[in-house]
């Protein structure tokens, strides 16, 4: 199937209420262009300098999402244009994003990355660290970031009950934050689900999926 066919099939599965971020980090410009020509506009990258360079080669209406681990000294490369940062995993990073966004006179939407997988190699906050960020007075003064929800990556396993349990845990936490109407949060985004597990994430109530190979592989 072509990239356009893959997009059509996946978007039909997702419905109108779930945003598809096509993960283009391993794809060529030609493949990204094919997706663009099919009408897709949301693309995900995980290296700051790569997405900054790629942005220059594509039209202004592309919405670039940063989905990888972000080092503080790389924020400057993406602050002028990035549509959303999915992977905020520390107060220090959030502070740097706010600083760089202020320099650009813009507000950058962010999701806080939670560590839900059994793998220690994955990044993310635990609940205590999440609470520390949400109760920090500094965060309340940040005017150039919008914390709009949570992101998480499930364990890389073929055991569906494990994946489902992790997604359900993240969804419950997301719902709890939404119900509490926290003054620091504009909760409308739950970013979970990738090529191998997005159907489970969809069943668990995700708002946004990050899919690469299922879009770009024939």
| pLDDT over 70 at 218, yes or no | no
Task: Give tens-digit pLDDT for 53-81.
Answer: 999 999 999 999 999 999 999 999 999 99
- pLDDT for the residue 123: 85
Secondary structure (3-state) at 50: helix
- pLDDT for the residue 89: 96
- pLDDT for the residue 108: 97
Indicate the range of 56-60, 96-100, 132-136, 162-166 predicted with least confidence.
Answer: 132-136
- pLDDT for the residue 186: 84
Task: Give tens-digit pLDDT for 169-216.
Answer: 999 999 999 888 777 788 899 999 999 999 999 999 999 999 999 999
117-120, long-range: CB < 8 A, 24+ apart = 117/152, 117/153, 117/154, 117/155, 117/156, 117/166, 118/155, 118/157, 118/162, 119/155, 119/156
Alpha-carbon span 185 to 214, nearest angstrom:
32
pLDDT bin (cut points 50, 70, 90) of residue 122 is confident
- The H-or-E segment that residue 19 falls in is strand 19-23
State the average pLDDT over residues 99-111. 98
Alpha-carbon span 55 to 45, nearest angstrom:
11
Indicate the range of 93-102, 123-132, 191-200 predicted with least confidence.
Answer: 123-132
- Considering the chain, what is the average pLDDT of its residues? 94
Alpha-carbon Rg for the chain in angstroms:
17
Please give the backbone phi and psi of residue 52, each rounded to the nearest 5 degrees, phi first.
-65, -40
Alpha-carbon span 137 to 143, nearest angstrom:
13
pTM for the predicted model, two decimal places: 0.95
Task: Give tens-digit pLDDT for 12-39.
Answer: 999 999 999 999 999 999 999 999 999 9
Give the position of tokens 């998480």.
152
Alpha-carbon span 165 to 89, nearest angstrom:
21
- What share of the chain has pLDDT > 70, as a percent? 100
pLDDT bin (cut points 50, 70, 90) of residue 140 is confident
Alpha-carbon span 171 to 53, nearest angstrom:
34
| pLDDT over 80 at 117, yes or no | yes
């Amino acid at each position: 199937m072509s990239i356009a066919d893959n997009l059509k099939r996946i978007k039909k599965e997702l419905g109108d209420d779930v945003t598809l971020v096509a993960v283009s980090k391993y794809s060529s410009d030609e493949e990204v262009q094919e997706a663009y020509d099919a009408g897709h506009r949301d693309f995900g990258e995980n290296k700051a300098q790569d997405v900054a360079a790629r942005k220059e080669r594509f039209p202004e209406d592309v919405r670039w999402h940063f989905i990888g681990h972000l080092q503080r000294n790389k924020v400057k490369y993406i602050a002028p244009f990035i549509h959303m940062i999915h992977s905020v995993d520390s107060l220090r990073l959030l502070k740097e994003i706010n600083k760089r966004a202020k320099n650009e006179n813009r507000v950058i939407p962010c999701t806080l990355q939670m560590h839900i997988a059994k793998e220690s190699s994955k990044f993310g906050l635990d609940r205590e660290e999440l609470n520390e960020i949400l109760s920090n007075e500094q965060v309340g003064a940040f005017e150039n970031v919008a914390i709009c929800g949570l992101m998480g990556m499930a364990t890389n396993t073929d055991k569906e009950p494990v994946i489902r349990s992790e997604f359900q845990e993240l969804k419950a936490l997301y719902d709890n934050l939404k119900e509490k109407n926290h003054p620091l949060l504009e909760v409308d985004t739950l970013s979970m689900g990738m090529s191998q597990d997005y159907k489970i994430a969809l069943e668990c109530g995700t708002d946004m999926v990050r899919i690469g190979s299922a879009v770009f592989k024939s």
